[in-house]
Structure formats: C-alpha cells, structure tokens
Amino acid sequence: MTLENYAGVAVIEVTNSADIAISSISITHSEVSLSGGWVIKLSEVEKIENILFNKIIVELGDCSSLISVIPRLKSQISTFKVFLEGAKLESEDAVNAFVEYQQADLAKRKKIARPTFFEWPSDIDLTQIGKALRHYGLQDKIIGTDKEMEHVLSAARLLKFFIQKWQIDEQIRSNRKYVLEDLAKVTILPPRFFKVTSDNEN
C-alpha cells in the first residue's frame, strides 16, 4: 500500500510503568475509522509489535519505556505537532500557488475564487484534549470508556477529525486548475507526517 491508498496510525500512551494504551486509526480515501483499542502490558512485546507494525505512532507523553523494550519503533514515532504543521504548510503552499496563478494574468483571473482551507492550529495541548474536542464541536469523552483508555481514545478521535479535515482540504486543493502533475495527487495524510513511515520502510 502507498500514501495514496492506505495508512495506519496508532495513538499511544504509556499509562504507568507496566502498561501501554493504544488506539488505532485506519485511513483510506473513502473512510477514516477508529479500528481498535487495547491496554497491554509492556512485557507483551510480540503483541505490541504486531499491533504497531507499519503504523505511524503518535505518542502522548513520554514513551521511552516502550522504546527501551522495542527500540525499532522509535523510527515510526511522530506527533500531533508534525501533522498540524504539515497540514498548515500544505494549505499555505496551495494559497501561494493560487496567488501566483492569479497574478500571472490578473485581468483574466481576478474573479477566480481564492481557496479556503481549514484553519489549522500550530499545535495541541495534549493535557487538554477534551477542551480541544469541545472547541471543534465534538464530545469530549465517550461514556463507559475504560479509564486507562480515556486519554488515548480522546486523542485518537481528535486526530481522526483532523485527518478528515485534511482530506477535505486535499479535495479543494486538487480540484484547482493551477494545481498540476504530482501536486494534483490527493494524499490521505500530510506528506510530512507520512514521511516517518516511508523512511522506515526503506
């Protein structure tokens, strides 16, 4: 599978010295879905490796204890900040491309509508995930969630929301006549965010 077709993301948090909580997200062009949640003992190395295999890992807090038992996972780790910065830069690049296209022939193109993208934040306070969810009109908690899963699941739901906003931005950007060749490819995640997995596969 490639960036254009499918990606897996796992939001993780080491909840104490012995356990890790994981919430996974599956991403295609047609669907972004929460695809599983687990609380696992850090000693269950094979099980953790199987769940996190070939996924982009988004860590909440310090995951050094996970890396100490599975060092190779370090190359798969990314962050909310990397996702948001990547999405923001791509939307800014698209607006700049529009401005250049319009200015090249202002008389003919002055009435072409400027693209409007999601207003991307620069980062998220991971200690205030519930507040961020409410800000975007989402429920801050799912009733009945196991306490050890609450934070990870909330973060995964927020990331799912951002991924869906990214995909809407991609449709807006790719439909513009001034977006050509490779730039017209629709990607299911910001390329800068996906790069962590691509590098790990090489």
The answer on pLDDT for 94 being more than 90 is: no
Rounded to the nearest 5 percent, the helix, strand and coil shares of the chain are 50, 15, 35
- Alpha carbon of residue 70 to chain centroid: 23
Put the strands of the sheet holding 7-14 in their side by side order.
32-41, 19-27, 7-14, 56-59, 77-78
* pLDDT per residue as tens digits for the range 141-197: 888 888 889 999 999 999 999 999 999 998 888 777 666 555 567 789 998 887 654
Residue 125 pLDDT exceeds 80: yes
| Confidence bin at 202 (pLDDT 50/70/90) | very low
| Range list of H helices, the chain | 45-52, 64-69, 80-104, 106-109, 129-135, 147-174, 191-201
On whether the CB atoms of residues 51 and 75 are closer than 8 A, the answer is no
Asked whether the predicted pLDDT for residue 4 surpasses 70, the reply is: no
Q: What is the pLDDT of residue 138?
A: 96
Largest interatomic CA distance in the chain: 67
Over the stretch 46-68, which tens digit does the pLDDT of each residue have?
999 999 999 999 999 888 999 99
Spell out a b/e string for 28-50, using b for 16 or more CB atoms within 10 Å of the CB, else e. Answer: eeeebebeebbebebeeeeebee
Domains and CATH numbers, the chain: 7-201 (3.30.420)
What mean pLDDT value characterizes the chain?
A: 88
Residue with structure tokens 């993301």? 9
More confident residue, 36 or 114: 36
Percent of the chain with pLDDT over 70: 90
Q: Give the pLDDT mean for 40-50.
A: 95
First to last CA, the chain: 14
pTM of the model: 0.90
Residue 200 pLDDT exceeds 60: no
Distances (CA, A) of 93 to 58, 97, 100, 131: 25, 6, 11, 29
The CA distance from 134 to 71, in Å, is 36
